[in-house]
Amino acid sequence: MEKSLEQLYVEYSDRIYRYIFLQVRQKELAEDLTQETFYRAFKNIHSFNKQASMLTWLLKIARNATYDHFRRKRIIRFFSLDKDLNVDTSNLSLEDELLKKDMTVRLSNALASLKPTYRDVLILRKINESSIKETAYILGWTETKVKSTMVRAFAALKKEMYRMEGENG
């Protein structure tokens, strides 16, 4: 292996943690599942066949670890963006900061109301910035399914945002 296991952890742990955190919304649980992801990866490093990038392979393991947790607990949680994401707002005026926080909460609530497949594809493609090919690999879908689901997910998100705006306006 070209990189040590420690180097892999240092290089990818923040992105894996962020992906998991957006799914579970709990800092400690996200930390535990990040550790579980790397444990599984290290244990199965021999099976990494370079069919995908290392990050994509790790994200697939992270998704499986997270879903295994939900199955064990028999729960389905929706994520919301909150203060644990540490968005830098230091250069914003107070009014802009409040508007950004309000938009983040609204977006978070809208995402939380979407079905899991829509949420998965939106998180991977738009938040984690995974390619269509990487997203297909992680989700076990075809690239065509990723593309079509993205279109439907965006439409559902837009519809939900408008619905919520109507309730609050």
Residue 112 lies in a domain: yes
Are 73 and 101 members of one domain? no
Are 132 and 66 members of one domain? no
pLDDT reported for residue 94 = 66
| CATH code of 157's domain | 1.10.10.10
Are 119 and 145 members of one domain? yes
- Is 79 a residue whose pLDDT tops 60? no
Residue 55 lies in a domain: yes
pLDDT reported for residue 100 = 63
Q: Considering the entire predicted model, what is its pTM?
A: 0.61
pLDDT reported for residue 143 = 94
Residue 160, domain extent: 93-169
* DSSP assignment of 20-77: HHHHH--HHHHHHHHHHHHHHHHHTGGG--SSS-HHHHHHHHHHHHHHHHHHHHT---
Please, are residues 32 and 62 in contact by the beta-carbon 8 Å criterion? no
* Domain tally, the chain: 2
Residue 84 lies in a domain: no
Range 41-67 average pLDDT = 90
pLDDT reported for residue 5 = 78
| CATH code of 64's domain | 1.10.1740.10
pLDDT reported for residue 82 = 39
Residue 28 lies in a domain: yes
| Boundary (domain end) residue, out of 77, 106, 124 | 77
Are 101 and 152 members of one domain? yes
Enter the tokens of residue 53. Answer: 């990038």
Best CA proximity match to 140, nearest among 39, 61, 75, 82: 61
- Is 78 a residue whose pLDDT tops 50? no
Residues 112-144 have pLDDT tens digits of 888 989 988 998 888 888 899 999 999 999 999
